[in-house]
Amino acid sequence: MHIRTGIVRTFTLLAATSLVLVGCGDDDDGGSGGDGDLSGASLTVGSKEFNEQVLLGQIAIIALEEAGADVQDQTGIQGSENVRAALTSGEIDLYWEYTGTGYTVHLGHDAADAPTDSAELFDQVATEDAENGVVWLDPAEANNTYGIAAAADTAEELGVETLTDYAALANKDPEAASLCAAAEFLDRADGWPGLEKAYGFDLPDSQIAEMDEDVIYARLPQSDPCNFGEVFETDGRIVGNDLQVIEDDKSFFVKYNIAMTVRQETLDQYPAIEDVFAPISELLTNEAMQELNARVDVDEEFPEDVARDFLEQNDLI
C-alpha cells in the first residue's frame, strides 16, 4: 500500500516473533462451525501502522470477541511487507489488506498491468494468493486508492467533476490546474506520470508543488498554493476539509479495495470467521470509511472507541 502516516503502535516484526503463538488458530485443538460462533477460538489480529489500518484492526478484534473468540492484538505492525510476513509465518491469523497491495507488493505484478475492474482484480489476487495459503474474504466497496481532489467550491467554480475535465483544464489553463503532491506520487508510474499519459495532458513543472501528503489536506481548502492535490480516497480529512474527489472516469488508478485476509489453515479450523466479516465488509463504503477515519484523524478519537461505536450502531455487537 502507499506510505502513510498516523498513530503508530510500535510493534515490529522482531517483537512479534517474541510472543508466544498461543493466539494463532493452528494452536487450538477445536474447531468452530460456520454460523458466526467462535467460542473457544484463539486468534491473533494484525494491522499496518497507519490510522485506517489500526481502526480496521480494532473493528476486527471487537467483532471476533463478540463472536466468542479469545483475541490477541498485534495491530500497528510497521509496513505492508512485515504484516504480510507475520501472516504467512503464522504470527498473526488475519488482517485487512488492499487488493492493489496484494497485486503489486505481495504477488509482484506491475501496477500498470492491474485489471481496471475491481471484481476482476480481486478475483485474480484471491486466486493467485490461494497458492500461498492466504484466503481473501469478500472485499468491501471502500477503495483506498490514489485520487485527485480540490475544495468543493473550487471544483465547482472551475467546472471539474471528472479527471477528463481536469485534463482539459490543464491543457487550457495550467495555472488553474495547479497540483500539490508528494514525491512518491509524482514519481510512480501508477501515479502522476501515468495519469498525464492516460488522460492526455502535460502540466508544466512550474504548476506542480511537491509537499508532504499531510500538508496537502490542510492547504487545499485555501487553494494555497494549489487548486488540486493528491489524496487517498478513504482518508477522513477529505470529509474534515470539505474536499471533493475528482472522478477517475477512465479508471486509471489501481483499485485498493479493502478485504480481510486469513491464513487458510486458520479459516479451515474456524470457518465462522467468514460469517463474522461478511456483514462488516458490506458496510465499508468510501463514505463510511471517510467518516470513520475523520473521527480518528480530525476529531482525534481513539480507534477502539470509533470501532466499537461503528459496530454498535450497525447492530453487529
Q: Is the peptide bond before 279 cis (omega within 30 degrees of 0)?
A: no
- pLDDT for 76-95, tens place per residue? 999 999 999 999 999 999 99
| Domain 13-143+257-313, CATH among 3.40.50.2300, 3.40.190.10, 3.40.50.1820, 3.30.379.10 | 3.40.190.10
- For the chain, which residues make up each domain, given as ranges? 13-143+257-313, 146-245
Say which amino acid occupies 163.
Answer: L
Q: What are the phi and psi torsion angles at 229 (to 5°)?
A: -155, 160
User: Domain 146-245 classified CATH 3.10.129.10?
Assistant: no
Residues 177, 150: Cα–Cα separation, whole Å? 10
Q: Could you say which residues of the chain have pLDDT below 50? A: 1-34
pLDDT of residue 188: 83
**Number of residues written out for the chain:** 317
pLDDT of residue 93: 98
pLDDT of residue 20: 34
Residues 60, 168: Cα–Cα separation, whole Å? 43
Half-sphere exposure at residue 121, Cβ-oriented, CA atoms within 13 angstroms: 28
Residues 288, 122: Cα–Cα separation, whole Å? 21
pLDDT of residue 55: 98
- pLDDT for 127-157, tens place per residue? 999 999 999 999 999 999 999 999 999 999 9
Show the cell assigned to 120.
476482476
pLDDT of residue 190: 86
Domains 13-143+257-313 and 146-245 are alike in CATH topology = yes
pLDDT of residue 8: 37
pLDDT of residue 21: 37
286-297 and 303-313 helices, crossing angle to 10°? 140
